[in-house]
C-alpha cells in the first residue's frame, strides 16, 4: 500500500482559497499529508517554487528573502514547515502588498500558538487558514483495503500508519512518530519540556480520553500543578494531538457540567499509547468506547466545517456525546461501539432538554435504520453521505 496517493477532501477547498487569497496556510500535525497534498496541487498550478524549510539548502535560498521572493513574482511559492522561519511573515506581507494578486503563497505548518498569532497579525486580510487532519474515513474507502474499517480504526489516519504493510509495521511507525514528536518536534517549536514528562501527560490523556478534564486530578498523577497541566494540555491541543471539546451551555435552568472533555485526535496514536496492538485486543479493552468516540468525532466534525462542536451533560444524567450547532440549527450525535446499539434514557432527556429535531447514533453497522422520528442509527459512511445534504441546507 505504500506509495499510494490518497486524494484529500481538502484539495478543492485549497485550490478555491488560492483563487480568493494571496496566501493560503494549511495547518496540521506532522506527517498528516500536508506536503503530499501541496505537491499534488502545485503539480497542476503552472510556474511554482517549492521550499522545504527543514532543508539547509532551501533555507539558504531565503538568506535574502525579499530579493528571492520578488525574483519569483507571478509564481505560486510553497513554503513547507514555515514554523522553522517565523521571521518570514513580515517579508511575505511586503511582497503581497507590492503585488496584490491571489495564488501567491501556499504555506504549510505544524501549528504553534506563536506561529498562528504572528502570521494572523502580520497577514490579516491576506491569508486563509485551512486544517488538514489525518486521513478521514471517506478518503480511505477507495484504497481497496479489505474490510477497511477495522484497519482504519486500529491504525488511525496518519497515512504512513494506515498504509503500512501490516499491523506490526504500522505500530512501529506510530511508536517512532511519538518519539520524534516528543524529542524533536516539540523542542523545535520552542518548548523545552522533558520528553519523558510530556509522554506521561500524553499517556494520562490517553487513559482519560473521552472523560471530563480535571487539571488538578491529572496534574496530581504526575506531580505537577493544575496550571502546569493546563499548559501541557494547551500544547498538545495546539499541535493537533488532543481535542478539547467544550460543554454546550444553554440557558435552560438545569445544573450543567461546565468542564470540557479531552480526546486524543487519532485512534492509532491512542492505541499506541495504550499498548493496543491488535483489533481483537481493542474489542476487549476498556477504552473501546472512547476509541470509537475519537474516530467518530474527528470524522463528523470534519464532515461539517463551519459547525461548532460541543458535548452536553447535566448533573441529573442527561448526556449527548456531540452537539453540532450552526446559527439556530442543532444536531446531536451519539457514538456506540456496538453492532446492536442502544441509547440511554439520558440521551432522550438531552434531546428533549435542547429541543433537537435530528439526531444520529453512529455505530459499526452496515445498514441504517430509524429508532424514532428523525433519530437514525447509521454507519459512519452513511452519515458522511447525509452530511453533504446537511451542509447544503
Q: Where are the domains of the chain?
A: 11-131, 137-392
Give the model confidence (pLDDT) of 144-191 as tens digits: 555 789 999 999 999 999 999 999 999 999 999 999 999 998 998 888
pTM: 0.92
- pLDDT tens track for 103-153: 889 999 886 656 666 677 778 888 898 999 999 999 998 655 557 899 999
**pLDDT greater than 90 at residue 344:** yes
* SS3 track for the chain: CCCCCCCCCCHHHHHHHHHHCCEEEEECCCCCCHHHHHHHHHCCCCCEEEEECCCHHHHHHCCCHHHHHHHCCCCEEEEECHHHCHHHHHHHHHHHHHCCCCCCEEEEECCCHHHHHHHHHHCCCCEEEEECCCCCHHHHHHHCCCCHHHHHHHHCCCHHHHCCCCHHHHHHHHHHHHHHHHHHHHHHCCCCCCHHHHHHHHHHHHHCCCEECCHHHHHHHHCCCHHHHHHHHHHHHHCCCEEEECECCCCCCCCECCCCEEEECCHHHHHHHCCCCCHHHHHCCCCHHHHHHHHHHHHHHHHCCCCEEEEEEECCCCEEEEEEEECCEEEEEEECCCCCCCCCHHHHHHHHHHCCCEEEEECCCCCCEEEECCEEEECHHHHHHHHHHHHHC
Q: Is 100 left (phi over 0), alpha (psi -120 to 50) or beta?
A: alpha
158 vs 97, residue with greater confidence: 158
CB 134 within 8 Å of CB 159: yes
- pLDDT-wise least confident of 13-17, 85-89, 106-110, 283-287: 85-89
Write down the pLDDT at residue 338.
Answer: 95
Burial class (CB in 10 A: 0-12, 13-18, 19+), 281: middle
Q: What is the 3-state secondary structure (H, E, C) of 342-359?
A: CCCHHHHHHHHHHCCCEE
Closest CA to 375 of 338, 331, 344: 331
Of 125, 62, 134, 139, nearest to 97 by C-alpha is 125
In contact, 271 and 173? CB cutoff 8 Å: no
Q: Look up the CATH superfamily of 11-131.
A: P-loop containing nucleotide triphosphate hydrolases (3.40.50.300)
Q: How far apart are CA 33 and CA 132, in angstroms?
A: 8
CA 376 to chain centre: 26
pLDDT tops 80 at residue 393: no
Q: Which residue has the higher pLDDT, 335 or 257?
A: 335
Amino acid at each position: 500500500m505504500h506509495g499510494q496517493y490518497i486524494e484529500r477532501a481538502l484539495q478543492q477547498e485549497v485550490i478555491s482559497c488560492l483563487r480568493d487569497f494571496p496566501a493560503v496556510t494549511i495547518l496540521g500535525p506532522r506527517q498528516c499529508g500536508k506536503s503530499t497534498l501541496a505537491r499534488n496541487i502545485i503539480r497542476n498550478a503552472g510556474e511554482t517554487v517549492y521550499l522545504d524549510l527543514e532543508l539547509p539548502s532551501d533555507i539558504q535560498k531565503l538568506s535574502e528573502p525579499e530579493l528571492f521572493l520578488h525574483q519569483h513574482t507571478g509564481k505560486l511559492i510553497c513554503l513547507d514547515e514555515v514554523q522553522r522561519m517565523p521571521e518570514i511573515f513580515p517579508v511575505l506581507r511586503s511582497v503581497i502588498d507590492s503585488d496584490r494578486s491571489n495564488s501567491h503563497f501556499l504555506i504549510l505548518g505544524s501549528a504553534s500558538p506563536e506561529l498562528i498569532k504572528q502570521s494572523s497579525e502580520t497577514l490579516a486580510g491576506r491569508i486563509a487558514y485551512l486544517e488538514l487532519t489525518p486521513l478521514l474515513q471517506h478518503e480511505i474507502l477507495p484504497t481497496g483495503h479489505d474490510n477497511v474499517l477495522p484497519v482504519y480504526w486500529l491504525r488511525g489516519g496518519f497515512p504512513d500508519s494506515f498504509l503500512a504493510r501490516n499491523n506490526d509495521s504500522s505500530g512501529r511507525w506510530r511508536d517512532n512518530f511519538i518519539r520524534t514528536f516528543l524529542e524533536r518536534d516539540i523542542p523545535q517549536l520552542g518548548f523545552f519540556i522533558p520528553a519523558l514528562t510530556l509522554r506521561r501527560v500524553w499517556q494520562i490523556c490517553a487513559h482519560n480520553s473521552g472523560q471530563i478534564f480535571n487539571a488538578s486530578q491529572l496534574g496530581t498523577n504526575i506531580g505537577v500543578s493544575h496550571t502546569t497541566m493546563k499548559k501541557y494540555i494547551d500544547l498538545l491541543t495546539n499541535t493537533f494531538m488532543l481535542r478539547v471539546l467544550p460543554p454546550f451551555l444553554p440557558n435552560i435552568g438545569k445544573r450543567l457540567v461546565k468542564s470540557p472533555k479531552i480526546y486524543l485526535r487519532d485512534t492509532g496514536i491512542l492505541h499506541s499509547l495504550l499498548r493496543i496492538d491488535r483489533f481483537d485486543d481493542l474489542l476487549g479493552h476498556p477504552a473501546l468506547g472512547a476509541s470509537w468516540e475519537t474516530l467518530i468525532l474527528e470524522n463528523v466534525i470534519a464532515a461539517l466545517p463551519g459547525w461548532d462542536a460541543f458535548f452536553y451533560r447535566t448533573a441529573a444524567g442527561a448526556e449527548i456525546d456531540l452537539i453540532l450547532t450552526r446559527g439556530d440549527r442543532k444536531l446531536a450525535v451519539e457514538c456506540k461501539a456496538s453492532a446492536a446499539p442502544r441509547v440511554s434514557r439520558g440521551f432522550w432527556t438531552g434531546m428533549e432538554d435542547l429541543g433537537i429535531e435530528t439526531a444520529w447514533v453512529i455505530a459499526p453497522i452496515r445498514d441504517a435504520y430509524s429508532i424514532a422520528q428523525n433519530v437514525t442509527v447509521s454507519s459512519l459512511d452513511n452519515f458522511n453521505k447525509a452530511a453533504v445534504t446537511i451542509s447544503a441546507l
